[in-house]
Every structure is written in structure tokens, then in C-alpha cells.
Structure 1
Amino acid sequence: MLDYPSLSAVAAVVREGSFERAASALGITPSAVSQRVRGLEERVGAVLVVRGQPCTATDLGRTLCAHLDRVRLLEHDLPTLGGALGPAEGRLTLPVAVNADSLATWFPAAAAAFGREGEAALDLALDDEAHTAARLRSGEVLAAVTAEREPVPGCRTVPLGALRYAACAASDFITRHFPTGVTPEALRRAPFLRFDRRDFLQSRWAGTAHGVEPAGAVHWVPSTHGFLDMTLAGLAWGMHPVAMAQPHLDAGRLVELPPGQRVEVPLYWTVARLHASLLSRLTKAVRAAAARVLVPPA
């Protein structure tokens, strides 16, 4: 049987990034944390924590931390056992993967609704919506906002709706780069934004709306709010969640590129199949918040 106090120490070091901060979170000394981690590593015959700044988990360490997350989640609903499944030291935390645009638009309302009862904290891992499901498959998180509708083993998937995007630019950018209108050739040469190397939304829109592949200067901006700020400043054009862009479009600070064709990205909530009340509460909060912002997919 696993030594849960020691496994809790491993999880705290990975979560907090250092032995000192883990000790503070657990209410014990750094020496005690080190002894617990080292003792568990000796028992399993493998390194669980890569010491560094910050400390990180090995593959086995991540697997054991994911196991602890599930045990503690189930223990939460069995208070009469008095910790029979093993001590659950430290704050109960739910690891969740979410994409940047959801985090910047509708997901905060879900997190706030879930957090009002204060029984557990959220540990959010930020990733592209096309890749968040991989974190579920690895056991790194218990739930994810994802663009994948394919089932993940041991999980259930709930459709949330679609996040709608509009191609936008500042009016002075339109004047400089599209003096005779947004033609395919002008669009092909105009500077544009990309979130990261996995972001092809601008190419998707340009190909669908104008039949071209953007080939102008690419500005890499890995922040949803930074993406919007750079567009407002007139640096380049880009695709923005309508929920964020609409006030700027209404005020004339942004102009939507013709033909005003919008792109929808369907999103799903994939969550571990655990009969845990906290996961059910989080799922309820996520679905309610998504329903207020996302649109039914076309």
C-alpha cells in the first residue's frame, strides 16, 4: 500500500515548486518533506522529483500524483472514514486544463461559481484547446476544456458550444494596409498575429473568406489579452473571440474585416469518470458559464 503522507509530500513539492514552499503548505519542516520524498523514492526504487528551480515530477511521479488526486477526491465524499484511505495532507486541489481564450472570456465565471463554497482550489494548466486532452490522457489533470470530441479513456465528454471568432484590425491599420479594400492580394501581404506555432485560425479564416494563405510578417503574441492589445495598437490583424472584440467593434476601435465571416471553434468539457461531488459541482459550473457565452455550433 502506498505511503500517503509521503506521496502528499511529493505532490506538494511538484505543486509548489520547491521543498521549502511545500513544507509551508503542509505545515511541516523542509527536512521532513525531504525525508518523506526520499523515503518514498527508495521504496518504489525510482526518482519521483527532479530537483531544480522549480522542482518537477518524473513520469512516475506524475502518475503517482494523479493517483493521489483521485484518492483525495473520493475521500472528500467519505468523511466518516476518518482518513482510512490515507491522510490527505495539504489543500485539496483539482488540476484542470483550459485554453487561453476560454480563460480570458467565460471560464472565470465558472471558476468563481465553483470556488464560492471554498472546499477545493483549482490548479489550471494553460494549453491550446487542441492539446488539452493530452493532459487528461497522461493523468496530469482531472478535467479539461478541449476541442476534441473523441472520448478519452476513463472520461466522459460534454459539448459546451462554440467560441466564435472575428477577424479584426484597427482602423489605421486598415487605412495603411488595405487602401483599396481587403483584397486577397492585400490580405496575403498584410502583417498578422499568431498566438503560437499551433495557432492556424488566421490561416483558416483567410483561406475560407478570401482563398489565400497569409504570407505577411507574423507577430507571435502568446496572450489573449496581449493579442487584443496589439491589434488595438495597429500592429497587425488577427482573430479574436467575439465576446472580447465586440465592445471595441461597437466603439469603432476595431473594424471587422470583410466579408464579416466568423469562425466557430467547438469546445467540450472532458472530465474523469469519478463519482465525486466536487467534479460534479465543477462540471455544473462550467456548463452554466459556457452556456452564457458560447453559441450552439453550426
Structure 2
Amino acid sequence: MDIPVEHLRTLAAAVDAGTLDRAAARLGVTPSAVSQRIRVIEQRVGRVVLRRTKPVTVTTAGEPLVRLARQIDVLEHEARAALGDDDGPAHVPLAVNADSLITWFLPALAAVTDQRGVTFELHREDQERTAQLLAAGTVMAAVTSQRDPVAGCIASPLGRMRYTAVATRAFADRWFRGGVERAGLEAAPRVDFDRHDSLQSAFARRHGARREPPRHIISASAEFAQAITLGLGWGMLLPGQFEAGVADGSLTILAGDTVDVPLYWQRWNLSSDLLDTVTDAVRRIAAESPVLT
């Protein structure tokens, strides 16, 4: 398979831009040139690599090609730097779940910027879905709950995030007066981070619930915790988010069992000093974090 590098970069630009017209503007070529380059790729691989939707999306066949384009950019940047050709700071797109982002992840990135010129682009996504961005070539590495490596990647464990079911004392007295039982869990409002959040439902199923209760959707970590402390519903919180409230009596732990979410760091299986530096910082900060067990 012989595909010109500029064609691979055109495919990646189309995915980033969302339309062929915007990709053309970024590349300084005509939309027809962009379309022609992508057709050449599809002819050479014998498969469709880009869905002409709005926005355009990469197909399963196109994902490794987008990843290849980005890997070439990384290696080219490092080669230029080694030759003394200052090409500006490297750009590193990463995917991370919201709770890691708000608790331990950012210090790892700060440690990297102390060592070298680099800019980061963070894609915040649920830990069960960050690996999809890695597979699509959107990011170079990801914090994910997926243990098995994405194709072309390597994975290493980071630790476990431990979540505890918490509600205000008044909320618990209203909905769980007899303890955490099926009827209360199926009726009491709960707080979910987004529509894909499965933490609360996993806890509820463990305690016998079979039907979904009313749900508040609050997709911001700090506000998610605040909603629980204000009594909008019950939810799963991390260490550091509820202990003070339990101590002063405003919050209560609904049950002694927790939901543990293992996290892994997945990155491209690429010989790259830049990715090695990011990986070392992420693993070190994760090992030092009290949030991860």
C-alpha cells in the first residue's frame, strides 16, 4: 500500500475540520483536490475511509490511516527538533475522563511542560469511551477503563478510582429511611454525569434495582458533586468530595460498599521521546495521587 503522506494528512485534516471545504481551507488547496486525494486513498486500500456525512467521520478502515498520519507528524516534529530546526512546540491531543481531569491529571501535564515545549488538546470523555478516540486516531493517548490495548497501542495500569454512594441527610431520610433498597433506588432521583454514566446504575443494580429512576444530568465534575450536596439526588462521589459533609452531618454514606473503576493509560505503540515523557509523567502523578488506589 503506497499512499502519499500528503494524502494521509488530507484525510486527517478532513476529520479534524468536519467538512472537505474547511479541510481545503486549512491545507490551502481546493475542495476538489481534497476530494481527489481521499478517493485515491480509497482506491488504493479498496475500502471507504471517510463517510461524507455532516460532519464527515472516519470509517473503521480509515482509523489506522488517520492514526498513521498523526504518527508521521509526531516523528517528523521530533526529527526536526533533533536537527535543530525549531518547528515550534509539539501538539499532543489526549483523552481523559472528567474525574481524572479535575483531580490528578493536570499536574502530570504541568510536569511535561516544565521539561519541553508542548501544547495539549484535551478531549474530555467518559472513561468507558476515551478508547474510541484513541482508536479513531483523534488522540495520541488516553486515560481509559479499557484494559485490552486498542489496535496499535500499548496499555499500562494507573490504579482504581473508588466511588461511594452519597446523599444529603434529608434526602436519605426521605427516600432511604429503611436503608438502601430496591423501591427507594427505583424512585429516588439520582444524579448522572451524562447519559452514558453507568456508575450510579451499577450501584443500584447491585442493590436490587431493575428500573431506572428520574435522573438529573450534570456534565461537570464540580457541579455534579454540588448537585448531590444540595440534595437534587444521590450519586457516587470520590474521596475528598464528601468527607467534610459526612463529618458535619449534612451528608450521609448510603451503603458501605463502593464502586471501583480501574483506569489504564493507553498510548500509541510508537518510539517517541515525546510520548515517553508524557507517559512517565502521567504514571508518576497517578502513583502519587490519593484518589487512585
Q: Indicate the TM-score class for this superposition, using the shorter chain for normalisation.
A: 0.7 to 0.9
Amino acid paired to 1:286: V
1:146-183 C-alpha deviation (Å, 9 max, x unpaired): 223334443322211111212111233234324x4534
**Compared with structure 1, are the counterparts of its residues 243 and 198 closer, same or farther at alpha carbon in structure 2 (3 Å cutoff)?**
same
Structure 2 runs not aligned, ≥5 long: none
Does residue 287 of structure 1 match 2:291? no
The residue aligned with 2:225 is 228
Aligned residue for 1:100?
Answer: 98
How far did 1:61 drift? 4.3
Are residues 20 and 107 of structure 1, via their aligned partners in 2, closer, same or farther at CA, if it must alter by over 3 Å?
farther
Q: How far, CA to CA, are the matches of 1:53 and 1:20 in structure 2?
A: 12
SS across alignment from 2:275 = helix
Superposed displacement of residue 12, structure 1:
2.8
Q: Identify which of 222, 234, 237 aligns with 2:234.
A: 237
Equivalences for 1:144-293 in 2 at 5 Å?
144-178=142-176, 180=177, 182-184=179-181, 187-188=184-185, 189-196=187-194, 198-206=196-204, 211-213=207-209, 215=211, 217-221=213-217, 223-225=219-221, 226-246=223-243, 249=246, 255-293=251-289
Using the alignment, how far apart are the partners of 1:159 and 1:80 within structure 2?
Answer: 31
Q: Which amino acid aligns with 2:143?
A: V
Aligned twin of 1:37: 34
| Aligned match of 1:86 | none
Structure 1 stretch displaced more, 274-283 or 34-43: 34-43
- TM-score, reference length from structure 1: 0.76
Q: CA deviation at 1:19?
A: 5.8
Q: Distance in 2 between matches of 1:246 and 1:236?
A: 17
Structure 2 CA distance, aligned partners of 1:135 and 1:295? 24
What does residue 74 of structure 2 align with? 73
Q: CA deviation at 1:55?
A: 4.2
Amino acid of the structure 2 residue aligned with 1:67:
L
- Tell me how far 1:283 sits from its aligned partner: 0.6
In the other structure, the counterpart of 1:85 is none
1:57 aligns with 2:53: no
Separation of aligned partners in 1, 2:116 and 2:36: 33
Number of residues of Structure 1 aligned to a counterpart in Structure 2: 284
Give, as a single letter, the amino acid of the residue that structure 1 aligns with 2:213: A
Distance 2:88 2:58 in 1: 18
Measured on the aligned residues, the alpha-carbon RMSD in Å equals 3.6
Report the identity percentage: 35
- Offset, 1:280: 0.7
Name the amino acid aligned to 2:99: D
Retained in 2: the 8 A contact 1:166–1:239?
A: yes
- State the AA in 1 paired with 2:264: Y
Instruction: Rate the CA distance shift 1:187–1:243 in 2: closer, same or farther, 3 A.
Output: same
Partner Cα distance (2:114, 2:32) in 1: 36
Asked if 2 retains the 8 angstrom alpha-carbon contact of 1:136 and 1:144, the reply is yes
In the TM superposition, residue 15 of structure 1 has moved relative to its aligned partner by 1.8
**Cα offset for 1:135?**
4.1
Q: What is the CA-CA distance between 1:250 and the residue it aligns to?
A: 5.4
Deviations 1:218-247 (A, max 9, x none): 305151424323323322101122244445
In 2 relative to 1, CA 127–77 (structure 1 residues): closer, same or farther, beyond 3 Å? same
Q: Is the 8 A contact 2:24 2:34 kept in 1?
A: no
- 1:129 match: secondary structure: coil
Provide the C-alpha distance between the structure 1 equivalents of 2:90 and 2:24, rounded to a whole number of angstroms. 16
| Partner secondary structure for residue 212 of structure 1 | coil
* Distance in 2 between residues matched to 1:169 and 1:18, nearest whole Å: 45
Q: What amino acid maps onto 1:234 in structure 2?
A: G
Equivalent-residue separation in structure 2 for 1:90 and 1:218 (angstroms): 50
Tell me the TM-score normalised to structure 2 length: 0.77
Q: How far 1:275 moved relative to its partner?
A: 0.9
